[in-house]
Amino acid sequence: MASVSAAMTRRVPARYGRYLEDFHVGDIYEHFPGRTITQADNIQMSLLTMNQHPAHCDAAYAAETEFGQPLVNSGLTLAVVLGLTVADVSGRAIANLGWKEINLTAPVFCGDTLRAESEVLDVRPSRSRPGQGIITVHTRAFNQDGKAVLDFIRSCLVPTRTPVEGGAPT
């Protein structure tokens, strides 16, 4: 992975999906809009995923914890932040290839509004799939106060702008 100085960083406006050629190492996509997490979101995600931890769904229990209120289910936080990135990062993706280094850096509470940005770390053509390539991004999420709450690294398989001869159009 290449590193880039701040002087070389470009800020790129949002658009839905990108081809491999549109990604440049060092670009930072400022995802829009943000998403406010509600109590209903938190309860629904906890029920859907069978996460019955009382810190998420029992306000009386949560009031007695060090946080003094229910925590947002971390699976919900990750899912929302990932969703915030789709238009810019994976809107044209063929497949997500993986996530790594998922870090929950601060608690998220009902009523918090999450915003995210993704920095392009690596861009390369696929060695096994002509007309496609792999991009790797580092996504960081912040609450309404600018406090970092989550970050992760993700890789996706995306098409190239020009189809490969004999291959299906992308």
Measured in residues, the chain has a length of 170
d(C-alpha 86, C-alpha 83), whole Å: 5
Contacts of 164 (CB under 8 A, 6+ apart): 130, 131
62-107 confidence digits (pLDDT tens) = 999 999 999 999 999 999 999 999 999 999 999 999 999 999 999 9
Q: Helix or strand or coil: residue 21?
A: helix
User: With DSSP H G I counted as helix, E B as strand and the rest as coil, what are the percentages for the chain, rounded to 5?
Assistant: 25, 30, 45
Classify residue 164: in a domain, yes or no: no
Indicate which CATH number applies to the domain containing 55: 3.10.129.10
Classify residue 169: in a domain, yes or no: no
Classify residue 167: in a domain, yes or no: no
Q: Which of 148, 153, 90 is nearest to 114 (CA)?
A: 148
pLDDT score at 2: 56
Classify residue 166: in a domain, yes or no: no
Q: Taking a C-beta distance cutoff of 8 angstroms, is the pair 134, 156 a contact?
A: yes
Least confident of 8-12, 27-31, 66-70, 155-159: 8-12
pLDDT score at 100: 94
Residue 14 has pLDDT above 90, yes or no: no
Classify residue 127: in a domain, yes or no: yes
pTM of the model: 0.86
Look at the block and give the residue holding tokens 């007309």. Answer: 131
Classify residue 35: in a domain, yes or no: yes
The domain containing residue 39 runs over which residues? 10-159
Q: Residue 19's CB: how many other CB atoms inside 10 A? A: 15
Domain count, the chain: 1
Classify residue 153: in a domain, yes or no: yes
Classify residue 168: in a domain, yes or no: no
Residue 170 has pLDDT above 60, yes or no: no
